[in-house]
Amino acid sequence: MCHSSGNSCLRKKALAQIKGKDAEARRKRKMAEISQVLSTTPVDVAALRRMAISEGGLLNDEIRRQVWPRLLNVSVENIPKQLEPVDRDNNKDFNQVLLDVQRSLRRFPPGMPDEQREGLQEELTDIILRVLVKNPQLHYYQGYHDIVVTFLLVLGERLATALVEKLSTHHLRDFMDPTMDNTKHILNYLMPIIERVNPEVYDFMQQAEVGTIFALSWLITWFGHVLSDFRHVVRLYDFFLACHPLMPIYFAAVIVLHREEEVLDCECDMAMMHHLLSRIPEDLPYETLISRAGDLFVQFPPSELARERNQLTAVSTFKDFELASTQQRPDTVLRQRRKEQQQQQQRALEAQRGTVAVVQPTARRFMRLAVMGLTVALGAAALAVVNSALEWAPKLDLLFP
């Protein structure tokens, strides 16, 4: 009820309405920009990366169906119209896949009719088996189905099969080895990142001897297994598909860092700490965390961590993952973020001093893009896929020789 504070309540409502209108206006501008990029030949994949990382990601599944294949350099035109039949009877992975798929009920939208869900579960099983049969070097792991089901729900069986295969032979390749050795290598990046940002949290976790297993399901399912809201899952997939294959471990680090107070207030005990960290809060500020993960990647790239700690080196390769051109390499989007933020800070200082900054062509281009409804924090990060002479950093020679 608003009595003596009636004017204050009215002001708050008015501000909320303005905020809502601004958000909708930004959304419409972004949709128009994505549509324009997709209608241009050749399509500027670098711009699509920027859109996938910037605030709100790719906005809806219709856009994702058009953009995700391009982020993975999959030519939709070359995907067979008819999918190959699956021989379930003679497949060594069928029983385990079937068990996992049957346990995946929570991954489907609530209220979905049983018949529709069961049909999707059949398609999910077939996608997984089809990819494994075609790529015998890949080994199924529990949690893989959590990633595949996300692609199925967004893309449908035919398109999902092609993208999952590409993802499995690149981003997820280390998880699909016969052993978990390479997965452990990747998990070992978590604590060094935390140490550099917050030594106090790092020391406390070390004293508790909690290790990194609490983040295993986060990493190998791209958080699909642990997040209950599908909107958050696909938002993260937008981000991960547009970035370096190791970005999920940076996002895991920012979740821990975001929970600094909870961690330090927890009893310094391995079991208690593991229990706390393995449960992700429902109300995480995802856009803020995405922005911070990008910042940490630029500040502490995997190549630097690998150089300082030889034991972090993994053995698989992403040679094909440079995609179409140097300009489209995913990490330029994150590297340029810090440069743009510094430029913004410099312009603010010059404005305070009453001086006029000379806007160079590149800066002018950044400013024009920033007007497209991106937030200041994430907009600066997202602009980074514009033409850049920077090499993909890291080049992956240290990480994946």
How much is the pLDDT for 310? Answer: 60
How much is the pLDDT for 334? Answer: 58
pLDDT tens-digit profile of 145-201? 999 999 999 999 999 999 999 999 999 999 999 999 999 999 999 999 999 999 999
Query: How many angstroms from the chain centroid is the CA of residue 263?
Result: 24
pLDDT at 396 over 50: no
How much is the pLDDT for 320? Answer: 40
Choose the weakest-confidence range: 23-27, 48-52, 210-214, 309-313.
309-313
pLDDT tens-digit profile of 64-76? 999 999 999 999 9
How much is the pLDDT for 21? Answer: 75
Provide the token pair at 225.
């297994």
How much is the pLDDT for 330? Answer: 55
Percent of the chain with pLDDT over 90: 64
On whether the CB atoms of residues 150 and 235 are closer than 8 A, the answer is: no
The better pLDDT of the pair 394, 87 is held by: 87
pLDDT at 393 over 70: no
Helix (H) or strand (E) holding 284: none
The better pLDDT of the pair 396, 238 is held by: 238
pLDDT tens-digit profile of 39-92? 998 999 999 999 999 999 999 999 999 999 999 999 999 998 899 899 998 899
How much is the pLDDT for 306? Answer: 82
pLDDT at 327 over 70: no
Choose the weakest-confidence range: 2-6, 158-162, 269-273, 379-383.
379-383
* Spatial separation of the C-alpha atoms in residues 143 and 97, rounded to whole Å: 10
Provide the token pair at 239.
């981000």
Q: What angle do CA 77, 84, 152 make, to 5 degrees?
A: 70
Mean pLDDT (the chain) is 81
* Spatial separation of the C-alpha atoms in residues 182 and 165, rounded to whole Å: 19
Query: Which one-letter amino acid corresponds to residue 160?
Result: A
The better pLDDT of the pair 304, 355 is held by: 304
pLDDT at 254 over 70: yes
Provide the token pair at 326.
């140097």
Q: Tokens 């449960």 — which residue? A: 279
Average pLDDT, integer, range 13-20: 68
CB half-sphere exposure, 327, CA atoms < 13 A: 9
Backbone angles phi, psi at 190, to 5 degrees: -60, -55
Bin 209: left if φ > 0, else alpha if -120 < ψ < 50, else beta: left
How much is the pLDDT for 318? Answer: 43
Helix (H, G, I), strand (E, B) or coil at 169: coil
pLDDT tens-digit profile of 330-370? 555 556 656 666 676 777 666 666 543 343 443 333 333 23
Backbone angles phi, psi at 48, to 5 degrees: -65, -35
Provide the token pair at 101.
């798929």
pLDDT at 34 over 80: yes
Provide the token pair at 126.
């077939």
Closest CA to 202 of 273, 132, 150, 271: 273
The better pLDDT of the pair 244, 352 is held by: 244
On whether the CB atoms of residues 177 and 138 are closer than 8 A, the answer is: no
Biggest CA pair distance of the chain: 76
pLDDT at 16 over 90: no
pLDDT tens-digit profile of 120-139? 999 999 999 999 999 999 99
On whether the CB atoms of residues 241 and 72 are closer than 8 A, the answer is: yes
